[in-house]
Chains A and B, each alone.
Chain A
Amino acid sequence: MLTTVSDFSQFIQQAKAVGHSLCIRGLGSKDFYGNPSQGQDLSTLSYRGIIDYEPTELVITARAGTPMREIESALKEKNQMLGFEAPYFSDQATLGGVIAAGLSGPRRPYAGAVRDLLLGIRMIDGHGSDLNFGGRVIKNVAGFDLSRLMAGSMGTLGLVLEASLKTVPLPAFELSLRQICSLKEAIERTNHWAGQALPLSASAWVANQLHIRLSGAESAVHSAALKLGGETIPFIQAQQLWTSLRDHTHSFFNDSRPLWRLSLRSTAGELNIEGEQLIEWGGAQRWVKTHQSASHLRQLASAHGGHATLFKGKAPPDGVFHPLSPALEKIHRQLKKTFDPAFLFNPGRLYPDSNL
């Protein structure tokens, strides 16, 4: 079993020597995400535990194999949380997987994504080198910001073994509202509200209903709720709603059609797409269930300043993620070569070309 940093380093050096590619994996909650990849399993599960957590520093450092539940319950005990509301998509997820996938839940537009909270990492690259980037403090501009580069890299740049993340206090009070409105009206309203000093912390439009969450001081939340109007959702029901949106257990996601995620300008109007939509992040994240072609969806997303990802479904030949411009692809290849010259890590997971 691999338990120390040098165990992992040696394992990677051996894989490099014999030319084995590696599939980095925690609890496998996001096996469905990204392009298919093949290689020997490299499990992070034996490298787990919180290394350092001091609530007044607003920083937690933990090992990659640590279950998110463990991290989140340690934070909750001290009245804190990770602001991005990490999706689990199953019973369990690990810190390493959450960083590699770079996905965020409903609070993302208001509290930041994984990349926004990532302060430092310890990783092993394709040479087997033990590398530390960033640190355990909130403000740090020494060296290129390679910690944030790991968020959403799908494990293709190396094995992240430890990470430090910024924490935030749990909101003192939360209240969720429901309003009946059209998709167009929902986009209009959420963007309008976002331009005012209101304690918004989530929004979701689905099946002609707009759900809004407010978080903060009780007095401020009540005053904002009066201003926004709508029916108050009972607390437990609201919690279930936001968790079901975060983890895709909401009935919207129970469907055999391909599921697309469009990330675009929040004010983009109604899109010309067949199939149903669920809109989050004040209009900036749109989930679409549709059989329409990848090229159609990508074109639409590009036209609205964003990109389209096939979240669930059979990958098109150029992969589930939005193809890169030739100029950016060139840089991606160079970065991949820098960290992983033998192309060991998660080949093809980010883009089907395993040298990327």
Chain B
Amino acid sequence: MGTMDKPLSTPMDKNKQREVVQALIEFLPKSSVLFELEAVKPYECDALPAYRQLPMVVAIPENEHEVQAILRTCHRLGVIVVARGAGTGLSGGAMPCDQGVLLSLAKMMRIKSIDPHARTATVEPGVRNLAISEAAAVHNLYYAPDPSSQIACSIGGNVAENSGGMHCLKYGLTVHNILKLRAYTQEGELLEIGGEGLDSAGYDLLALMTGSEGLLAVITEVCVKLLPKPQRAQCVLAAFDDVTKAATAVGNIIAAGIIPAGLEMMDQLTTRAVEPFAQAGYPLDAKAILLCESDGAHEEVEDEIKRISAIMHDSGATEVRVSQDEAQRLRFWIGRKSAFPAAGRISADYYCMDGTIPKRALALVLKKIEDLSIEYNLRCMNVFHAGDGNLHPLILYDANEPGELERTEAFGEKILKLCIDVGGTITGEHGVGVEKLDSMCDQFASAELHVFHQIKKAFDPLGRLNPGKAVPSLHRCAEMGRMRVHSGQERFPDIPRF
């Protein structure tokens, strides 16, 4: 049925492996072609280690010509290719294929040019997100999208996942901050997508490529937009004795016409978990805290911070603090930024979810998560990009306890289902990968999934680029008993509007 079905796991075909290695070392240095078990082991998973698979071969090109040659070779030999950046993805999107080549772009990490006047940077896909801003800093410019993994994640992966970050409500996602791509199809044909202007002729393939999870083409160069660094940034920390009040405050800030540079919420379990670790000085008796940042010109920030503080008070905050200097601002944030490691400290394992909901449903969704937490007998920390409705519940579990992982996965799926039911989505920024294939059957009807498969075929007719990811086969959905057929009705007829 579907072209993106995960291939059946079969014993390693040693002859095929030898053939591929032989063909690759004809033009690649031997050190760039890995196939011994201990050499390929580090590539068996991305940052979602629950899904692992050893690749048949790992190829590590150093430039675009090598990428093209590898793709042509794999095309000729009928071999699957899975592209990988820094391996920081959270949905198994870069999990290798047992009969395929894992194409690591980590060595393609040159910043080719920075044009300070036009405010663009042209970089190879393996360049780290933060490295772009570091290189642009001398011109007082930076690259805006800042996923939490920005110190390690690479720009190629950011494009593949359409990464966001803490500041994306104001500055947009990856799709809003790139201009041009060079990419190669599975057959090794060059695609030049987008341009140096703000738009290009024909269909918007730049948008289509962004977030396509490596299913359409392999990116070898990205031209990104750079923004001037804000003159000043300041942060308000507000504590609430009730989650609903905090949620209302979020709505009140937006309703007042303010688009904060960042607007984050943490629940009590989270603040208590991070405080010993981060020493941010969070009020631990608060049921929820909000962090709300303003950046821009001096006058703008001064004005906005006053208004934000007043709204927090009016919305019932029990305490409102304003960062007085850069050190304090960073201290406010460090707790939020250490939520994931803190989860790892208080629990053997944790599972990070990534749904988006309309903000008006926040209180309802948090209450239901609390109920599910009791039902499944698992703790759940809630961190939340409150401004754009992107939830990151962290389910705490212990993989060594029999049945806990299964309960965790069931709990997680219920949360995603809940996100769909209130009019949201199963993934805000982490991607579908292999992790959320089943939930895709809930979110999309079979006609829509069919279109996704056709889109893949338009770029990759033989289905050899990262097969089995991002889009479930119709067969899989049918087997799960989750086939959603075309209904022609309102999509969410029973959502309460409040």
Contacts and interface: CB of A to CB of B under 8 A. Distances in A.
B211 interface: yes
B117 A141 contact: no
B251 interface: yes
Contacts of A192: 117
A152 B189 contact: no
Given A141-B161, A143-B440, A192-B117, A115 B204 contact: yes
Interface in B275-313: 296-300, 302-304
Contacts of A130: 447, 486-488
Contact of B259 (A115, A149, A168, A322): A168
Most buried by A among B115, B190, B197, B389: B197
A306 B180 CA distance: 11
Nearest to A133: B448
Most buried by B among A168, A169, A170, A339: A169
Interface stretch (A41-49, A195-203, A234-242): A195-203
Contacts of A91: none
Contact of A321 (B141, B201, B231): B201
A127 B230 CA distance: 49
A141 B196 contact: no
Contacts of B448: 131-133, 143
Interface in A332-352: 332, 334-335, 337-339, 350-351
A139 B173 contact: yes
Given A130-B488, A223-B299, A306-B195, A57 B360 contact: yes
A139 B203 contact: no
Contact of A197 (B185, B255, B296, B491): B296
A259 B337 CA distance: 52
A21 interface: no
Interface in B176-228: 176, 180, 185, 189-193, 195-205, 207-208, 210-212, 228
Interface stretch (B14-22, B237-245, B421-429): B421-429
Interface in A285-308: 285, 304-307
Given A54-B360, A145-B208, A217-B304, A102 B199 contact: yes
A208 B488 CA distance: 55
A206 interface: no
A56 B425 contact: no
A258 interface: no
A140 B296 contact: no
Interface string A111-140: 011011000001001010111110111111
Interface stretch (A12-20, A176-184, A245-253, A262-270): A262-270
B357 to A, nearest CB: 7
Contact of B116 (A122, A195, A305, A306): A195
Contact of B196 (A80, A108, A169, A264): A264
A5 interface: yes
B471 A195 contact: no
Contact of A153 (B203, B304, B459): B203
Given A108-B198, A140-B356, A146-B451, A224 B297 contact: yes
B257 A79 contact: yes
B427 A142 contact: yes
Contacts, number: 277
Contacts of B185: 327
B428 A137 contact: yes
Given A138-B169, A263-B199, A305-B195, A115 B207 contact: yes
Given A197-B229, A327-B191, A135 B423 contact: yes
Contact of A138 (B141, B199, B388): B388
Contact of A219 (B140, B211, B299, B457): B299
A36 interface: no
A152 B427 CA distance: 26
Nearest to A139: B428
Contacts of A323: 201
Contacts of B427: 140-142
Contacts of B192: 325, 327-328
Contacts of A172: 257
Interface in A153-203: 153, 157, 168-170, 172, 191-192, 194-199
B258 interface: yes
22 contacts: A57-B360, A80-B257, A109-B198, A137-B357, A139-B168, A140-B425, A152-B199, A152-B203, A153-B204, A191-B119, A197-B228, A197-B296, A223-B297, A223-B298, A265-B197, A285-B197, A328-B205, A331-B191, A331-B459, A338-B457, A338-B458, A350-B202
